[in-house]
């Protein structure tokens, strides 16, 4: 990343995990970018942003399935060409129209799709780089010195380049009061029987210094993200996601889909047994597992939905205990029905239940009522739709939206009946530590 030519746009899927679908990092140079926006008045009732996403994916899929080569980067057995894709959480308003609030989206993109014809792939298990797809003119040559910290100043003296870092402003008392009040209101909804769980977030704001790419490289490496990503949307805007969570990995050849929702977090320095024994965290994940099973059941072959791992405690966040966390994770697999494809999984299961709550639609309505910002790509999904028909998407948590030198970093927590507003507020602030210097 640090040696990528400045005049070439960069897209990165950072996969540094221990799971089979999260061990390969891929760097691509997008050759084309498309944005999908909310339908305008007069587009008709049939207009759907997700239909446009599918048209873009399908435009290069036909007739090219057998034309791929190279190692997987987490989206099927061959990642040669495809679309680097970011889906906004707000696409869910069109998937579940009863959620409403489409007017809140404004002119923000609901999806960003960037075309790539080849990629540079790093296998974290073997420590080796390889090339996938059409190298040709689509991938740049690295400038080995571009990322050096020491450089010459205008007078020719050797000097230290300013390190890239992000500084988040401390939330004021009003922000804390608003969030705790929202949590209290969510608990009232839960105790009244409206919903079992609600994921509530608030947005932290700050500024970055130094190079965006240098910052992204440092934070991705330090986080050890299993499903991280970095997308340069244009010259001013970028998405940096340090997500540990897989939304879905779908393989066209076998029609197999895997989802791995997360619920329950503890600092890496603590005993993971405390998380394993926590009835509250166990209940949170169990609710989301049921929701994911139902979502997959909409598009799966009858009887094929299986909970392959009810709950495991995984280590995420690299080797530094100050930044690492323990996560409760489940694995659910299914076989897609004949004739269905990647977009049908998205229609059935997006956004992830782990960032909404359960039941999903009512939880999304409560989120819309109680949150004072528009999520956008936060809590959406980022990944690759390959020309093979495969799909690999993260859940875009721990995700920063960068514009010029400004950064917005939302943080959230799952609210259940046993939650207390003060503890949930502190949990959200702890999650901002992943951006710490």
What is the mean pLDDT of the segment spanning 187-202?
Answer: 96
Residue 4 lies in a domain: no
Residue 150 lies in a domain: no
Average predicted confidence (pLDDT) for the chain:
87
* Burial label, 172 (beta-carbon count in 10 A; 0-12, 13-18, 19+): exposed
What pLDDT does residue 143 have? 54
Contacts of 372 (CB under 8 A, 6+ apart): 178, 202
**pLDDT tens-digit readout, 301-315:** 999 999 999 999 998
Domain carrying residue 29: 11-141+171-435
CATH code (residue 175): 3.60.120.10
Q: Residue 96: which of 395, 348, 271 has the closest Cα?
A: 348
Tokens of 413: 């927590």
Tokens of 436: 């710490």
Residue 400 lies in a domain: yes
**pLDDT tens-digit readout, 289-347:** 999 999 999 999 999 999 999 999 998 876 666 677 889 999 999 999 999 999 999 99
Rama region for 43: left / alpha / beta (φ>0; ψ in -120 to 50; rest) = alpha
What pLDDT does residue 23 have? 82
What is the mean pLDDT of the segment spanning 12-31?
Answer: 86
Contacts of 317 (CB under 8 A, 6+ apart): 223, 224, 244, 268, 323, 324, 325, 434
Q: How far apart are CA 54 and CA 288, in angstroms?
A: 27
SS3 211: coil
pLDDT at 380 over 90: yes
* Residues annotated catalytic, as ranges: 245, 263
pLDDT at 198 over 90: yes
What pLDDT does residue 77 have? 39
Domain count, the chain: 1
**pLDDT tens-digit readout, 203-246:** 999 999 999 999 999 999 888 899 999 999 999 999 999 999 99
Q: How far apart are CA 427 and CA 322, in angstroms?
A: 15
Residue 157 lies in a domain: no
209 DSSP β-pair partners: 165
Q: How far apart are CA 75 and CA 342, in angstroms?
A: 11
Tokens of 124: 């974290």
Higher pLDDT: 381 or 435? It is 381
Residue 155 lies in a domain: no
Are 200 and 291 spatial neighbours (Cβ–Cβ below 8 Å)? no
What pLDDT does residue 43 have? 61
Residue 151 confidence class, pLDDT cut points 50, 70, 90? very low
What pLDDT does residue 224 have? 87
């Amino acid at each position: 990343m640090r040696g990528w030519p400045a005049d070439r746009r960069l897209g990165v899927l950072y996969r540094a995990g221990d799971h089979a679908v999260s061990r390969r990092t891929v760097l691509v140079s997008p050759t084309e970018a498309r944005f999908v926006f909310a339908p305008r008045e007069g587009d008709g009732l049939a207009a759907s942003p997700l239909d446009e996403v599918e048209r873009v994916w399908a435009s290069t899929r036909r007739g090219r399935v057998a034309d791929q080569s190279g190692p997987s980067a987490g989206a099927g057995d061959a990642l040669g060409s495809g679309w680097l894709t970011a889906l906004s959480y707000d696409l869910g308003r069109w998937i579940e129209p009863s959620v409403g609030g489409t007017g809140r989206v404004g002119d923000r993109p609901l999806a960003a799709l960037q075309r790539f014809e080849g990629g540079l792939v790093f296998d974290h298990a073997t420590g080796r780089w390889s090339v996938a797809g059409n190298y040709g003119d689509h991938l740049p040559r690295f400038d080995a010195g571009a990322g050096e910290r020491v450089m010459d100043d205008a007078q020719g003296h050797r000097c230290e380049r300013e390190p890239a870092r992000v500084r988040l402003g401390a939330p004021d008392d009003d922000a804390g009061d608003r969030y705790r009040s929202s949590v209290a209101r969510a608990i009232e909804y839960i105790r009244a029987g409206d919903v079992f769980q609600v994921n509530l977030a608030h947005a932290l704001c700050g500024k970055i210094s130094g190079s965006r790419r240098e910052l992204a490289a440092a934070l991705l490496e330090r986080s050890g993200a299993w499903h991280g990503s970095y997308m340069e949307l244009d010259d001013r805007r970028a998405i940096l996601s340090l997500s540990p969570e897989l939304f879905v990995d779908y393989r066209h050849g076998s029609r197999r889909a895997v989802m791995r929702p997360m619920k329950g977090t503890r600092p890496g320095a603590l005993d993971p047994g405390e998380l394993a024994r926590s009835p509250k965290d166990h209940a949170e994940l169990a609710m989301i597992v049921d929701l994911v099973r139902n979502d997959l059941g909409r598009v799966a072959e009858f009887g094929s939905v299986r909970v392959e791992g009810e709950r495991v405690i995984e280590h995420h966040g690299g080797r530094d205990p100050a930044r690492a966390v323990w996560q409760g994770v489940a694995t659910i697999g299914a076989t897609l029905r004949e004739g269905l494809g990647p977009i049908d999984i998205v229609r059935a299961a997006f956004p992830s239940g782990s960032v909404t709550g359960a039941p999903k639609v009512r939880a999304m309505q409560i989120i819309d009522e109680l949150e004072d910002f528009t999520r956008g790509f936060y809590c959406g999904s980022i990944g690759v739709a390959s020309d093979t028909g495969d799909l690999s998407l993260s859940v875009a948590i721990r995700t920063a939206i960068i514009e010029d030198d400004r950064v917005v970093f939302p943080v959230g927590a799952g609210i259940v009946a046993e939650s207390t507003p003060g503890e949930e507020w502190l949990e959200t602030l702890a999650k901002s530590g992943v951006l710490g210097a």
